[in-house]
Amino acid sequence: MAVDLHYRKIGQGPPILILHGLFGSSDNWLSVAKELQHSYTLYLLDAANHGQSPHTSTFNYTDMVEDVKLFIEKNNLVGAPSIGHSMGGKTIIRLAATYPDIVGKLIVVDISPRFYLRHHDTILEALSAVPINTLSSRTEADSIVSKFIDDIGVRQFLLKNLYRTEAGRFLWRINLPVIRDQIENVGEALPEGSSITLPTLFIRGALSGYIEAKDESIIANHFTNYSIQTVEGASHWVHAEKPQEVVRLIETFLSK
């Protein structure tokens, strides 16, 4: 059953939906949304099991698609362009393949329709090592996670999922047990035979391995109207590292 997703709404003008990636939340896209808010109304969604959206017993694209479909219908956003990063990109691709009449132009950020091998085990091990029931501070959590992950930027991104309740204890915003148990689903490919005719822009980070040269033939197998733009100097978190370039690509694509 589809759930009501938490969201942030900013700006004025035609609507755009924005979907974050795995372990993220709606505020990951605030810097881009603030650049677009003078021309568009941005709806930044928290996926189920992320951010402030409900936790569920399942974690898969079938459910995520139904959640976004419900959001679009309840908020009268049929035909609005959608932006999705990584897991969010796979979600809007699957949404467009399943319900082509409900979405508009697609902007898919650093993800391909292909299958991805499971590769988040270190992150899951790091987060699972945090003693959430007895945790005393964010500093303690960072110290534990740093034993698994050297990159401070990645640690800061992941630990944004920690929050303190009014009673003073820490909790995860992500549904860590369900994501950990069903993580294979996040790499699932778009089903064979799926065809998407909507105008679609793929934005890839030049330093990321998520969209490689081999992916263009896979994209061409599913999409009849697409383009691929590369952002130099950016890794998988293209929108966080190069927000101005991403904003320019979005504005140019939507203005056509």
Q: Within 10 A of 167 (CB to CB), how many other CB atoms are there?
A: 5
Asked if 29 contacts 36 with a C-beta cutoff of 8 angstroms, the reply is no
Catalytic residue among 20, 50, 85, 236: 236
User: Helix or strand or coil: residue 33?
Assistant: helix
CA neighbours closer than 13 Å in the CB half-sphere of residue 155: 17
Q: Which of 86, 112, 208, 222 is catalytic?
A: 86
Rounded to whole angstroms, the Cα distance separating 255 from 51 reads 31
SS3 59: coil
Q: Is 236 a catalytic residue?
A: yes
Task: Look at strands 41-45 and 7-11 and give their pairing.
Answer: antiparallel
d(CA 1, CA 191): 21
Active site residue 86: yes
Residues labelled as active-site residues: 86, 236
